[in-house]
Amino acid sequence: METMIREVIEQGKACLGIELGSTRIKAVLIGEDHAPIASGGHTWENRYEGGVWTYSLEAVWTGLRDAYANLAADVREKYGVELKRVAAMGVSGMMHGYLPFDGEGKLLAPFRTWRNTTTGQAAAELTEKFKFNIPQRWSIAHLHQAVLNHEPHVKDVRFLTTLAGYVHWQLTGEKVMGVGEASGMFPIDSGKLDFDQTMIDQYDALVSGLGYPWKLRDLLPKVLPAGVQAGTMTEAGAKLLDPSGTLEAGFPLCPPEGDAGTGMAATNAVAVRTGNVSAGTSVFAMVVLEKPLSKVYEEIDMVTTPAGMPVAMVHCNNCTNEINAWVSLFQEMMAAVGHEVDQGPIFEAMFRAALNGEKDGGGTVLYNFLSGEPVAGLTAGRPLLARTPEAKMTFANFSRVQLYSALAALKLGLDILNKEHVALDRLLGHGGYFKTPEAGQRMLAAAAGAPVSVMETAGEGGPWGMALLAAYSVGKTGGQSLEDYLENRVFAGQPVTTIQPDAEDAAGFTAYMERFVRAMPAERAAVEHLQ
């Protein structure tokens, strides 16, 4: 087996996916059977500077190079060969945000990530104008808020993109974007697999009297569906990613995608009546629709699959961040009493303990809002743990509340889809929240009122999904659809664990959410007064 993989690598037949997540940049190399054969990563964190959640472009490239170097080292260690070329590559990243460049390719404002909730005025105005929900995270909301704020740089913008689109541009020279990622910049016409021209015209009319020298279409990248080639690795791009010079130029890249699209690919959830939940630093649910929703909901984003199918998305800014913080605290406590322990066993202990907690959390409520949470009506966040005097403060109850809180905002959105009678044949979970068997699945099944499946590849997540999209771009036969390719070429025979919703868990989560909503004024007061 090792010899066969070595030959695949040496012959340039492997495919590479790189994803820039919120806390980790990860590169995954897959073989011809689509299974991961090597990986590398880099840990990074956003910074809050000048009222903006951001990452510097320097941090982007430092992280990408380190993740790739670790991947190349993993290849050398496992197979004794150098990684020189691949069959195809794809780049994905955190969706949305604001990266405006001038005509010379200079960044005009610090990267404003999806986490920022400073575009409420613009989002509301555009939602009313388009009769289409424009969330605060979307690139067009950031651009329009900069217009409303009279920011001087706006007149100089000549290209607007996302993190994945930026990296792809630097590697290939191509200003393009996968349709799924593009759907988080500006509304998509799924029939044309392109930005909605009627809404573009409406926006141009809206700002026509302000004297800007650009039209919106000229600022946006070209939209491409999954399965096409979106440029090739240039000599300059190869050196950017691998300064050692080992990586050769000339291989194709597929369209850059967002973490929502790669999550759909990684869970085989791109067909109608399928859905997936990606749960990590942020959490979002994606459900591929049979028919449009009955009306516009501010809590529901309308985006697309990487192939352009309409998707209802519930996106929440906060998920496991508070769990991570408490695990770090417990690790420090263990060290203080003389027990050095990795975080892995602590995570597992917390998730397993949650299964034994009282169904409603035992009188404790936790708001995990590190940043604002539009689904919950918050423009800023303050993590807050509160309990009634008679609450049973056990580790099991504490842990269950942690897992509930990670999904609480998501449940507010899922309840809307339930009221819309959105049909789901399967809901798949992926991301760190599901790494411990059973716990995360049970909590999500209780929140969604639907069976939740997890595949053995759930922990691979987005970068693996990106590698699959790269493989599809060079491996599909004829006009083979993405749905067919994933179903029959990638996931056929894949072991799946499915957990049905438990009535007692569901009732407990509902009781917890009643407490959660009832006590929300305390969270709002914390945002207002805790400075």
> What pLDDT, on a 0 to 100 scale, did the predictor assign at position 460?
65
How far, in Å, CA of 186 to CA of 139, rounded?
7
Enumerate residues 6+ apart whose C-beta is below 8 A from 320: 279, 280, 281, 283, 406, 432, 433
> What pLDDT, on a 0 to 100 scale, did the predictor assign at position 160?
98
Dihedral sign, Cα of residue 320, residue 322, residue 323, residue 329: positive
* 88 beta partners: 15
Determine if residue 458 is left, alpha or beta; phi over 0 gives left, psi from -120 to 50 gives alpha, anything else beta: alpha
> What pLDDT, on a 0 to 100 scale, did the predictor assign at position 459?
58
**Would you call 280 helix, strand, or coil by DSSP?**
coil
> Could you give the count of Cα atoms lying within 13 Å of 311 in the half-sphere of its Cβ?
31
Amino acid making up residue 77: E
Dihedral sign, Cα of residue 235, residue 236, residue 239, residue 241: negative
Bridge pairing between strands 364-367 and 384-387: antiparallel
> What pLDDT, on a 0 to 100 scale, did the predictor assign at position 374?
84
- CATH number for the domain formed by residue range(s) 267-317+419-499: 3.30.420.40
Query: Are 399 and 351 in contact, with CB atoms under 8 Å apart?
Result: yes
Query: Are 363 and 385 in contact, with CB atoms under 8 Å apart?
Result: no
Write out the H or E segment, with its range, that includes residue 383: none
> Given the structure tokens 């010379």, which residue do they identify?
104
pTM: 0.83
Enumerate residues 6+ apart whose C-beta is below 8 A from 34: 467, 468, 471, 489, 490
Angle between helical axes of 343-354 and 395-419 (0-180°, round to 10): 70
DSSP secondary-structure letter at 54?
A: E
pLDDT in tens, the chain (531 residues): 788 999 999 999 999 999 999 899 999 999 999 999 999 999 999 999 999 999 999 999 999 999 999 999 999 999 999 999 999 999 999 999 999 999 999 999 999 999 898 999 999 999 999 999 999 999 999 999 999 999 999 999 999 999 999 999 999 999 999 999 999 999 999 899 999 999 999 999 999 999 999 999 999 999 999 999 999 999 999 999 999 999 999 999 999 999 989 989 988 999 998 998 988 888 989 999 988 898 999 889 899 999 999 999 998 989 999 999 999 999 999 999 999 999 999 999 999 999 999 999 999 999 999 989 988 989 899 999 999 999 999 999 999 999 999 999 999 999 999 899 998 888 998 888 998 989 999 999 999 988 899 887 655 678 999 999 999 999 999 889 999 999 999 998 888 899 999 999 999 999 999 999 999 999 999 999 998
Query: Are 18 and 91 in contact, with CB atoms under 8 Å apart?
Result: yes
**Would you call 29 helix, strand, or coil by DSSP?**
strand
Q: Residue 101 has which token pair?
A: 């460049």
Q: Where are the domains of the chain?
A: 267-317+419-499, 321-411+504-529
Enumerate residues 6+ apart whose C-beta is below 8 A from 207: 144, 147
Query: Are 136 and 299 in contact, with CB atoms under 8 Å apart?
Result: no
* Chain mean position to CA 241: 22
> What pLDDT, on a 0 to 100 scale, did the predictor assign at position 99?
98
Q: Which of 17, 48, 56, 104 is nearest to 462 (CA)?
A: 17
Q: Residue 343 has which token pair?
A: 């975080």
Query: Are 445 and 505 in contact, with CB atoms under 8 Å apart?
Result: yes
